[in-house]
Structure 1
Amino acid sequence: MKDMKPAGRMWHLYKTGGFTSALTSMFDVQSAQQMAFIRSIMKEQRKNSLYDIPLHSVELVVFDLETTGFSPYNGDEIIAFGAVSVNGSQIAESQTFYSLVHPKRSIPDEIEKLTGITNEMVAEAPDLLHALRGFLEFVQRKVLVAHGSGHDKHFLNSALWKTSRVSLSHRLLDTMMIAKWLNPRLKAYDLDTLLDLYGVEVTKRHHALEDALMTARLWSKLMLEVQARDIQTLGDLYTQLSYH
């Protein structure tokens, strides 16, 4: 007699009908579709070789996250996604993505004060699975760019694993690392310092979309210096950054 417990039923359906069929049996149909989409994006991204793409035409998404804290592995959650499309160094400011996220936990007071995002604001927001799908639909197969990307990468990987059991497979560039290469003698490389150094107007800090837009403007300034050093392709840039 077959094991009809949830885990046994899912394993049987996985063997006979594949991952999507198994998911659909365990979750509502809409959630299963979201998870299958996320997994397909990550699978397709692993096939792409982007190293020969010229920097002046590479398709990018500059993004930023707001979170309840600093550790996704100790219960902290994403509370906002912000992103903007960039082609080479040209910012498509009309092509943006922004979504609050219901974190299924209370937002600490200090995070409310820092970000302006309150528990009331996220009460009706999409859950992580649906917000993450919206973000990935916006990103598609483009290269990701963030400032101080370690924080954002940890949270994205945690979200992908939590919702869909996959890891981030997109190429990721960090404006902080590029700035360190271009300006090795600076004492600090935080976003505020670099926005001031490169003359980028500060609009609203600690808002995911505004931070993404400011980081995109910083990226554009950095690219002028990068290309002046005869770095012409994405592969050239990765190679140069690997030395630093």
Structure 2
Amino acid sequence: MKDPGPAGRMWQLYKMGGLTPAITSMFDSRNAQQMAFIRSVMKEQRKNSLYDVQLDTLEAVVFDLETTGFSPYNGDEILSIGAILVKGDQVCEETFYTLVNPKRQVPDEIVALTGITNEMAGRAPDLIDGLKGFLEFVSNRVLIAHGSGHDKHFLNSALWKTSKVNLSHRLLDTMMIGMWLHPKRSHFDLDSMLNLYDVEVLHRHHALEDSIMTAHLWAKMLKDIAAKEITNLGDLYAHLSHYGT
């Protein structure tokens, strides 16, 4: 096949993801490979329905992010990504964790909360490297998070910034599940749910430790879900639809 030349390659990259990734990728072939991988994962994921998957055999990845603040659209960035694999109600040993270089100062209150210093963040992998590692771990599995709105906003912002794609994985939120299972309760934050389900609290505000605790929460919630005769992912989504899933 004839080489389209630099201009042709630029146009091909532009069609894949926009001008910024195209220019970046022309100067960094590794970033181009990372971007292509991320885009291919999102494309493949859109083909998977998963609604008929039984919850007692569901493979999912429970994850959490630590960030520099609360708004990815006002300059806040991902600081760390943690994740753990679950199979049905079994919390597995396979985990993923990485720091991410936010390319900005970490606010003092975030350093105090997470223990992630500017020095640690400055030595961390770039965002696109962290995303690629995370998506390699996730593969085509369902994602689970507690209070997923925050994490989904940051993931979508990061995916768009690096690869001009949006998250296409199915996502379950243990906070919404808690609201459905316990409608008379008034507090559904992670600490409240961990206490309700008697899950041992480890190191809070650490992406991997929070993921592990949320995974054990999900495993215990599955018993309550089964008691309501909900057996597959599609039925669970239908019952959670009133809570914005």
TM-score between the two structures when normalised by the length of structure 2: 0.91
The correspondence of residues 1-244 of structure 1 with structure 2, limited to 5 A, is 10-11=10-11, 13-14=12-13, 19=16, 26-92=26-92, 94-244=93-243
> For 1:114 and 1:68, how far apart are their aligned partners in 2?
10
| 8 Å Cα contact 1:64-1:152 kept in structure 2 | yes
> For 2:37 and 2:169, how far apart are their aligned partners in 1?
15
C-alpha distance after superposition, 1:212-241 (max 9, x if no partner): 000000001111100111000000100111
Summarize the Cα distance change of 1:129–1:229 in structure 2 as closer, same or farther, 3 Å threshold: same
> For 2:8 and 2:105, how far apart are their aligned partners in 1?
35
| 8 Å Cα contact 1:62-1:212 kept in structure 2 | yes
Per mean C-alpha deviation after superposition, the further-off stretch among 26-35 and 149-158 is 26-35
What secondary structure sits across from 1:214 in the alignment? helix
> For 1:10 and 1:136, how far apart are their aligned partners in 2?
26
Residues matched between the structures, number: 235
Summarize the Cα distance change of 1:203–1:25 in structure 2 as closer, same or farther, 3 Å threshold: closer
Q: CA deviation at 1:243?
A: 3.6
> For 1:27 and 1:48, how far apart are their aligned partners in 2?
34
Q: Supply the AA of the counterpart residue of 1:51.
A: Y
> For 2:9 and 2:139, how far apart are their aligned partners in 1?
33
Per mean C-alpha deviation after superposition, the further-off stretch among 234-243 and 140-149 is 234-243
C-alpha distance after superposition, 1:98-149 (max 9, x if no partner): 0000100000000000001000111211000001100000000000000000
Who is 2:3 aligned against?
A: none
| 8 Å Cα contact 2:25-2:31 kept in structure 1 | no
> For 2:222 and 2:199, how far apart are their aligned partners in 1?
14
Summarize the Cα distance change of 1:28–1:236 in structure 2 as closer, same or farther, 3 Å threshold: same
- CA RMSD in angstroms comes to 2.0
Q: CA deviation at 1:24?
A: 8.2
C-alpha distance after superposition, 1:164-195 (max 9, x if no partner): 00000000000000000000011110000110
Q: Supply the AA of the counterpart residue of 1:156.
A: L
> For 1:14 and 1:31, how far apart are their aligned partners in 2?
12
> For 1:189 and 1:181, how far apart are their aligned partners in 2?
10
Summarize the Cα distance change of 1:75–1:230 in structure 2 as closer, same or farther, 3 Å threshold: same
Summarize the Cα distance change of 1:142–1:25 in structure 2 as closer, same or farther, 3 Å threshold: closer
Unaligned runs of 5+ in 1: 1-5
What secondary structure sits across from 1:242 in the alignment? helix
| 8 Å Cα contact 1:144-1:170 kept in structure 2 | yes
| 8 Å Cα contact 1:23-1:32 kept in structure 2 | no
Who is 1:3 aligned against?
A: none
> For 1:43 and 1:149, how far apart are their aligned partners in 2?
22
Q: CA deviation at 1:61?
A: 0.2
What secondary structure sits across from 1:141 in the alignment? coil
